[in-house]
Each structure stands twice: as C-alpha cells, then as structure tokens.
C-alpha cells in the first residue's frame, strides 16, 4: 500500500498536471482499492474528494497522452526478411522500395503520394529493411505481417597532421610508407559531416584515376571532385524529417569535423601548414595517395541513424576498401539492435575494413562503444608534440600547460592579478559559464577556471566577455594530467588537476595573488608519449564481455588537420588548419593505417589486417616504460586495448589470427541471441541448432578477455604470414593471480600461409589480486614477437 501514500502525496503537491505522477506508479489503478485505502487513512473527507477528482483528471490526461503518443510520427528503422523471389537487376531499387512499401499500413501508403513520403530509405546492401516515418500504431499493425522481423525508433549518434606520421614511424623516403605507395589505389569511405573540397589537402596532384571497380558518384559540381575526392554524397532525409536539417544538403562541410577526419586519414602533402603559428610543418594524412569517398551523414553534432545507414549502404555499393566511422552512441545495445554493427558486418562480408571511434566518455570504465568484434575499435592517445604555455605564479612556481593560441607581446607575460572563478560542481555552475562571473571583479585579470560540461574554448569566451584578460583552465580530477592545445580566444593555458590544486592553494595563501602566462611554442619530444587521453572511453565490453575492447590506441590529442574556416587571427585563409582532440581523430589514423596495409596485402581479410595491427602494437612509451593514462600510472587494457599502433610492425606481423565472416555465427549463437536476431546481423536465415555455438573467448580473436572462476580453456589458430621454415616459442607474462598454460609451447611452420592451432588453459592461483588482472601471451621467433594481451575478470 506504500505506493498509494506516495501517489496521494504527489497528487496533493503537483495538482492536476499529474500524468507523469500517475505513470510513475504504473496505472491502471483499482478505484475500489483506492477508495478502501483512503478510508483507512486519517484524511478529511473534503481532501479525499479533491484527491479522487485530481486522480481521475490525471488518469484521463495520461490516457490522452498515451493516445497522442501512439499517433505521433517518429522515424523507425524496420528490419524485414529478404524477399523469397530474387529482385531483377534492372529495377532492383524500385523493387526493393515496392517490397518495403508493402509493409506500410494502408493509410500510410496512401500518404506516400502526398508531399511527405513516409518511406525515407530503402536499404539494399547493409541491412534488410528500411526507415520510415511511422506511428507506434503503425508499428503494431506491421508486426502482424509476414516477413516482419523487428523495428526500433531511430537513435541519434554523436560526432565523437604535421607530426603524427613521423610519430608513427612513417618516413617519406623509406620503409613501410614508401613500400605501400602511400596507399595508392585504396578507397577510404569517410562517414562524417562532409568535406571542404577545395582545401589543399585534397589536391589530386600525382594521384591516379580511381580504380575501375569504383561505382560512386559526386554530388558537387563535376569539376569539384577529382582523383583525390572521387565521390561525395549527402544523406539527410531523416535529418529533414526530424527538422534537424531544413533543406537538402550538399556534401559541403560546415563545421570542420568531416574535413579534419578525412584529411587525417588521406590528406595529401601540404607544405607550411600551421594553426595560429603552432605545429608548423608539412601536413599530411596517414595514406596520402589513397582516394576519398565522402558520405555526409551528420548535420551539426547529431547524426541520425537512418542517414548513417544510408551512407553505409552507399559506401558498400560504391566499392570502398576501408570505412572510417568517427561516430557513436552514448549507450551500447545488443548487436542485433546496433545498426553500425549490423551494417559493418555486411561490409566485412564484402572484404571491407571498418574502423570506429570508441567514444569520448572516459576515463570511466564500461563506456566503450562500437564494440562488435568485426570492427576495429579505436581509443585515443597523445603524441610527443606539445604547444606549451606555462603559468608562472607570484611565488615563482611554474606549471606547464598547453594552448594553441600563443599571442606575441601579451601583457600577461608579466605578473598580473589572479582571481579564482569559484567552486565547481557537475552542473558547471560558477565554472566560467554565462553569467557566472557577474559581480566579480575580473577586468584585466588572469582568471582561474575549472573544466566542466561547457567547452574549453567557450569558458575563455565567458572570461573575455566579462572583461577578464587571460585564463588558466585547470582540469578536474577525472581529466588528471591530460591536456589539449586549443585555439583559445584570449591568452590562456590549460593545466593539470594537480597543478590547479596548487594554484588554488596559492590564491588562498596571499592577499595579492599574481600570475603570468609564458608562451613557449611547439615542443617535440615528450618521453611519456604516447599516453592514453582522459576522454577516451574504456572497457570492459558491456555487450560482449568476452571480447576485449577497445582494440588499439592511436593519436587523438591535439591533432593538426584541415579545417573549413580560418581560426580567429589566422593569416591562412585559403586552406586553414586546426587542432582537435577526440577518438574522432584517432579513428581516421587507424583507417589510414588499414589502407596502407590493404595496399601492401590486398588479399588479407579485414580480420587479418586487424590482427596485424593488434598483435604488433607497442605497450611502452618513448621512454621505454609502460604506457600511462591520465593519472600518469600504467594504463590498463580497458584503456589501451592491445597497445599503441605501430604501422611498420603491422606490415610484417609474422602471424595473424584470421576470422571469416561465417566464423562469427557460432560466436553470436553463444551470446544467446535468437535465430531471428542473428539473422538480422548475418543478413540471412540462421539456425543455431545446426551450428556448434561457442563461448565468446573461443572466437579466434587476437586478444583474450577471460571471466575466471573455474579453469577456462580456449583455442586459437594462427596463420604464418612471415617466413617459411620458422619456429615460435610461447612466452607468457601471466596476469597476477592466474596460471597460464600454452599447449603446444612451440609451433613450427614449413611454408607461408600454413596454420597452427594451440590451446590456453587459465587457472586461478592463491595469489591475491583485484577484480581484474592483465598479462599477455607472445609467440617469439628470431625475428617476430606476436603478442596477444590477456584481461582476466575474477568471479
């Protein structure tokens, strides 16, 4: 009966605007029970009458609300079985649309002749289904039709280099970069916010025509596309349907994100590139001779799922070799509901490699997205380049930070009054946000602000608008020592959380706190690089805990790449550059590496390329010590996966762990998905009863994620891609609290592409350990070291 007490109290407080109050207690309610309960309560009869009247109004309002909700048009993605009769080649698109329209309720089909077409997209390559504007009632009617599989409301996904090729060990005159011909002949499909086609990074100087397999098209003027940008299309039907986008869009990039990611993956050589004078040098993408196919699916920060699917559908049909997706959801869903996972499976079935950003929700565990085992999930790390800006206090203490904006002759290079902007909380109040500095004397002073929800650059704008002269932006505890070089709007530096605490303590220790900002320009050689960025999302994998995610880390902090508009104060107006941070930046780095590997190993499967990247990765930084995270402590595998990408080693990995598309089906059966759910992913009928399902850890994955109570045994098969007549010996660095046995402990090959199978037994020991422990297995020959990292969860 407790819920009635709460309900009456809520109604008494909230009065008749109480449809939400009723919903909270899961109506319908039993009125006789309510009356009985009221009589048992010591309430005045008049109050009882008021409560009953209020309750009846609220229930009526809730009922009306439910009816309204059922008739509201929403964008749904609908999965259906493939038609039994094959569609004719000549009219395939028309036949698909006709088949998909047959699922629409009759009254909806009638509307299709009017101005608003309910069918938004009819997908042909990456899912069996369509997206449409439908009501909840339409979906309920559709469920009764033969061939209907499932439907869910569209989700909205979010958008998540002069020096990085050198940092990655790529050299123009020799080695892997030259041997791969800089990715020549490979097509990278970039799903993002479009592109600025006339930027110098996209010149086709020295580029060959696209391969004969290319079937895409250019929605720019015919002269705008070239041998670099061979295709450019825009998909915003769903965005227009939801009023996110107001008109049919061209593939032109309006906010810079898509231009930045495309040039990171495959931008050409551009001399004298810089951003506000910082990071000067020759800008170039990872695969500078690869072709680009651009699919604009984001309009502002939002990327409707239907538009993304349409872009993926086109990319697969067009003939790309690599797909780069710097997008992600905030929360994971099962793979059969994850349309990026579903579409990516269709891509790998056609031999297309898919690279995805893991997300920017770090440093918290369980936040990694895009975690399907058939995609490469990319986390973000630093490079050894910093754009240094030092905060010097009145007590002569100095704290190194970063800022892309490095004004010459700044009046704040000498000591100036320093003021703290106020305490912080999760809602960003008193954190240098709009209105928070009202009443504070900040004019001409250096203002200490704390990071929060508001963007870093926006905080500087607030300080500037309030009359402040300069800003020290301190990290909050989760960001630790991770810094970004931003194009601030006033003299500024971003410093670590530890530095910020010391600066606050100094302010509180004196009546006249003072500070100066010393701008020291571009500095290369940070010995702790690479380190994991604080924002980079972390494992464990919440969808499939037996698959370790993310897979790899790559450069994603303060990345210089092409931009759409000149930065304020920039002299480069024709082909501007900017620095950005995020897993959106690390993802195209790995897309470019995959393109280089595809160029040198055209017959490798997507899984083989992925294996080569993972098993050759580095676990140590430039100093030769373990890679650290934002706390400057050794990073765990949930932060860095198999380690930091080493492209040259990936080109000659020795052994690979290969997986064919059909090999994922027993794994999916082992996840407990139904035949129908797996059929959505596999794009065809599946019967798990006829297949031997396997546990997650039995998939031939290049890493191990083990849930360990009783002992566990898994097998792996490696393929020799190194040298004939080679032997490898197993080297084990066992996770703390775990015994690891490898059988056989030695494997030998007589020829190339020969396979060998081994088993690994994991047993719990008496050694004390925390919830998780980590180590690795490496197969070592005279030339190669092929490492598979191990993450153990004790249960």
Strand order in the sheet with 291-296: 229-234, 291-296, 187-192, 322-325, 353-357, 376-381, 552-555
**What does the alpha-carbon distance between residue 748 and residue 728 come to, in Å, rounded to a whole number?**
6
Let me know if 488 is a catalytic residue: no
**What does the alpha-carbon distance between residue 535 and residue 630 come to, in Å, rounded to a whole number?**
9
**What does the alpha-carbon distance between residue 468 and residue 471 come to, in Å, rounded to a whole number?**
8
Beta bridge partners of 327: 159
Question: Which DSSP string do the residues of 595-631 spell out, in sequence order?
Answer: HHHHHH-TT--HHHHHHHHHHT-B-B-TTSSB-B-TT
Residues in CB range of 732: below 8 A, 6 or more apart: 740, 742, 775, 776, 777, 778
Residues in CB range of 496: below 8 A, 6 or more apart: 399, 401, 474, 475, 479, 480, 481, 483
Let me know if 484 is a catalytic residue: no
Catalytic residue among 192, 318, 486, 658: 192
Cβ pair 454, 432 in contact under 8 A = yes
Cβ pair 37, 55 in contact under 8 A = no
Let me know if 192 is a catalytic residue: yes
Cβ pair 132, 104 in contact under 8 A = yes
Please compute Rg for the chain using Cα positions.
Answer: 29
Catalytic residue among 263, 403, 436, 584: 584
Catalytic residue among 96, 100, 163, 257: 257
CA 123-128-131 angle, 5° bins: 50
Q: Is the dihedral of CA 322, 327, 332, 336 positive or negative?
A: negative
- Range 144-156 burial, b when 16+ CB lie within 10 A, else e: eeeebbbbeebbb
- HEC readout, 654-715: CEECCCCHHHHHHHHHHCCCCHHHHHHHHCCCCCHHHCCCCCHHHCCCCCEEEEECCCEEEE
**What does the alpha-carbon distance between residue 629 and residue 379 come to, in Å, rounded to a whole number?**
12
Report strand pairing: 704-708 vs 322-325.
Answer: unpaired
- Single out the residue of 271, 304, 253 nearest to residue 120, CA to CA: 304
**Helix, strand or coil, per DSSP, at residue 215:** coil
Cβ pair 84, 163 in contact under 8 A = no
Beta bridge partners of 293: 189, 231
- Range 6-38 burial, b when 16+ CB lie within 10 A, else e: ebbebbeeeeeebbebbeeeebeeeeeebeeeb
Q: Active-site residues: which are they?
A: 192, 257, 584
């Amino acid at each position: 009966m407790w819920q009635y007490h709460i309900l009456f109290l809520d109604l008494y407080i909230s009065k008749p605007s109480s449809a939400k109050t009723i919903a909270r207690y899961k109506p319908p309610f039993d009125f006789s029970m309510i009356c009985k309960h009221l009589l048992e309560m010591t309430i005045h009869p008049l109050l009882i009458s008021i409560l009953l009247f209020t309750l009846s109004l609220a229930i009526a309002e809730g009922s009306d609300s439910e009816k309204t909700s059922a008739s509201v048009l929403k964008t749904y993605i609908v999965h259906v079985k493939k038609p039994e009769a094959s569609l004719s080649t000549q009219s395939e698109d028309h036949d698909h649309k006709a088949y998909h329209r047959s699922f629409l309720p009759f009254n909806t089909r009638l509307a299709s002749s009017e101005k608003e077409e309910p069918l938004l997209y009819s997908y042909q390559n990456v899912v069996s289904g369509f997206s449409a504007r439908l009501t909840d009632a339409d979906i309920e009617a559709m469920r009764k039709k033969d061939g209907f599989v499932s439907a869910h409301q569209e989700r909205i996904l979010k958008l998540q280099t002069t020096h990085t090729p050198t940092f990655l060990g790529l050299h123009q005159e020799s080695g892997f970069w030259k041997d791969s011909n800089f990715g020549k002949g490979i097509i990278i499909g970039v799903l993002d916010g479009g592109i600025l086609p006339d930027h110098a990074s996209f010149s086709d100087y020295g580029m060959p025509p696209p391969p004969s397999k290319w079937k895409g098209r250019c929605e720019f003027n015919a002269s705008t596309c070239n041998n670099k940008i061979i295709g450019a299309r825009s998909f915003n039907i769903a965005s227009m349907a939801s009023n996110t986008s107001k008109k049919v869009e061209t593939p032109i990039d309006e906010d810079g994100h898509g231009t930045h990611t495309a040039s990171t993956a495959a931008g050409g050589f551009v001399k004298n590139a810089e951003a506000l004078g910082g990071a000067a040098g020759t800008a170039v993408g990872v695969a500078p001779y690869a072709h680009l196919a651009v699919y604009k699916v984001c309009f502002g920060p939002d990327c409707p799922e239907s538009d993304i699917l349409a872009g993926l559908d086109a990319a697969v049909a067009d003939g790309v070799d690599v797909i780069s997706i710097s997008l992600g959801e905030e929360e994971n869903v099962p793979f059969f509901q994850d349309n990026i996972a579903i579409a990516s499976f269709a891509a790998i079935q056609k031999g297309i490699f898919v690279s995805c950003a893991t997300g920017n929700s770090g440093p918290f565990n369980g936040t990694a997205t895009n975690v399907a085992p058939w995609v490469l999930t990319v986390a973000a790390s630093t490079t050894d380049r910093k754009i240094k800006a030092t905060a010097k206090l009145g007590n002569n203490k100095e704290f190194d930070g970063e800022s892309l904006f490095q004004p010459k002759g700044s009046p704040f290079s000498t000591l100036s009054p320093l003021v703290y902007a106020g305490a912080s909380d999760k809602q960003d109040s008193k954190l240098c946000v709009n209105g928070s500095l009202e009443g504070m004397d900040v004019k001409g002073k250096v203002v200490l602000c704390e990071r929060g929800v508001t963007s870093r650059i926006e905080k500087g704008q607030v300080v500037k608008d309030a009359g402040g002269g300069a800003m020290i932006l301190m990290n909050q505890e989760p960001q630790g020592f991770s810094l970004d070089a931003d194009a601030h709007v006033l003299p500024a530096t971003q410093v670590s959380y530890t530095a910020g605490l010391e600066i606050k303590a100094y302010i509180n220790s004196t009546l006249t706190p003072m500070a100066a900002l010393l701008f020291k320009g571009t500095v290369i050689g940070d010995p702790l690089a690479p380190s994991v960025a604080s924002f980079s999302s972390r494992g464990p994998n919440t969808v499939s805990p037996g698959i370790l995610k993310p897979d790899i880390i790559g450069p994603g902090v303060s990345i210089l790449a092409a931009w759409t508009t000149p930065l304020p104060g920039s002299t480069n107006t024709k082909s501007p550059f900017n620095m950005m941070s995020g897993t959106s930046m690390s993802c195209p780095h790995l897309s470019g590496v995959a393109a280089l590997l595809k160029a040198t190993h055209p017959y490798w499967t997507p899984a083989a390329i992925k294996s080569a990247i993972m098993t050759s990765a580095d676990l140590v930084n430039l100093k030769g010590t373990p890679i650290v995270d934002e706390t400057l402590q050794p990073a765990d595998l949930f932060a860095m996966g198999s380690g930091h990408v080493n492209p040259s080693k990936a080109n000659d990995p020795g052994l690979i762990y290969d997986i064919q598309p059909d090999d994922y089906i027993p794994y999916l059966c082992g996840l407990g998905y139904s035949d129908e759910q797996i059929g959505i992913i596999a794009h065809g009928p599946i019967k798990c009863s006829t297949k031997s399902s396997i546990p997650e850890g039995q998939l031939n994955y290049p890493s191990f994620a083990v849930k360990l109570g009783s002992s566990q045994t898994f097998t792996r098969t490696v393929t020799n891609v190194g040298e004939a007549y080679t032997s490898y010996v197993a080297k084990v660095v066992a996770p703390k609290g775990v015994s690891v046995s490898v059988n056989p402990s030695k494997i030998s090959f007589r020829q190339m592409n020969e396979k060998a199978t081994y088993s690994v037994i994991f047993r719990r020991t008496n050694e004390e350990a925390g919830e998780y422990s980590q180590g690795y297995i490496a197969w070592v020959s005279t030339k190669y070291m092929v490492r598979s990292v191990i993450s153990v969860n004790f249960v």
